[in-house]
């Protein structure tokens, strides 16, 4: 099973939040954890926000960034292609999602279509999860 993590799920693997243990268990049971490359930037932005809001002190923030950057190489990284962007654009017309949520949705769809393994979509954004369900993606159950 391939676990596709949008950024809301990916961050839970690094910052203790509600459902963090679910994400970590799912990552351990998956053969591969995957995400679109934009999650690299989005995760760093989330970590920086937590630092600005003083949820993370300087040392914790530096440790977290280092751990994430080290782990990033182990993820199956879905890159941006014109066909992915076209698909994300089509999805944007059908769902009221943020731009990068459409990119994650398109990446997960394309991964499901190209893989012989089951793809499980992990997301903690209600609108994105609903859209993924409409598209028939297998969802990580909370």
Quick check: 107 and 83 in contact, CB under 8 A?
Answer: no
Q: Which residues contact 7 (CB under 8 A, 6 or more apart)?
A: 35, 38, 39, 42, 43, 46, 100, 104
Judge residue 79's burial from the number of C-beta atoms within 10 Å of its C-beta, 0-12 exposed, 13-18 middle, 19 or more buried.
Answer: exposed
How far is C-alpha 54 from the chain's CA centre? Answer: 24
pLDDT in tens, the chain (142 residues): 999 999 999 999 999 999 999 999 999 999 999 999 999 999 999 999 999 999 999 999 999 999 999 999 999 999 999 999 999 999 999 999 999 999 999 999 999 999 999 999 999 999 999 999 999 999 999 7
Report DSSP state, residue 71.
Answer: H
- Give pLDDT, residue 7: 97
- Give pLDDT, residue 84: 97
- Give pLDDT, residue 142: 78
Does CATH place domain 2-139 in 3.40.50.740? no
Helix or strand holding residue 86 (H, E): helix 82-94
pTM (2 d.p.): 0.94
- Could you tell me which of 67, 27, 17 has the C-alpha nearest to residue 44? 67
- Give pLDDT, residue 61: 95
- Give pLDDT, residue 125: 93
């Amino acid at each position: 099973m391939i676990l596709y993590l949008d950024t809301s799920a990916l961050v839970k693997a690094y910052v203790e939040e509600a459902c963090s243990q679910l994400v970590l268990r799912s990552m351990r049971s998956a053969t591969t954890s995957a995400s679109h490359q934009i999650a690299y930037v989005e995760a760093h932005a989330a970590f920086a926000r937590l630092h600005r809001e003083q949820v993370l002190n300087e040392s914790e923030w530096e440790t977290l960034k280092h751990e994430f950057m080290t782990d990033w190489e182990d993820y199956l990284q879905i890159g941006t292609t014109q066909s992915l962007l076209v698909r994300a654009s089509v999805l944007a017309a059908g769902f009221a999602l943020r731009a990068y949520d459409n990119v994650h949705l398109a990446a997960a769809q394309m991964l499901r279509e190209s893989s012989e393994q089951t793809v499980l979509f992990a997301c903690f954004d209600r609108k994105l999860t609903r859209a993924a369900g409409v598209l028939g993606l297998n969802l990580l159950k909370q």
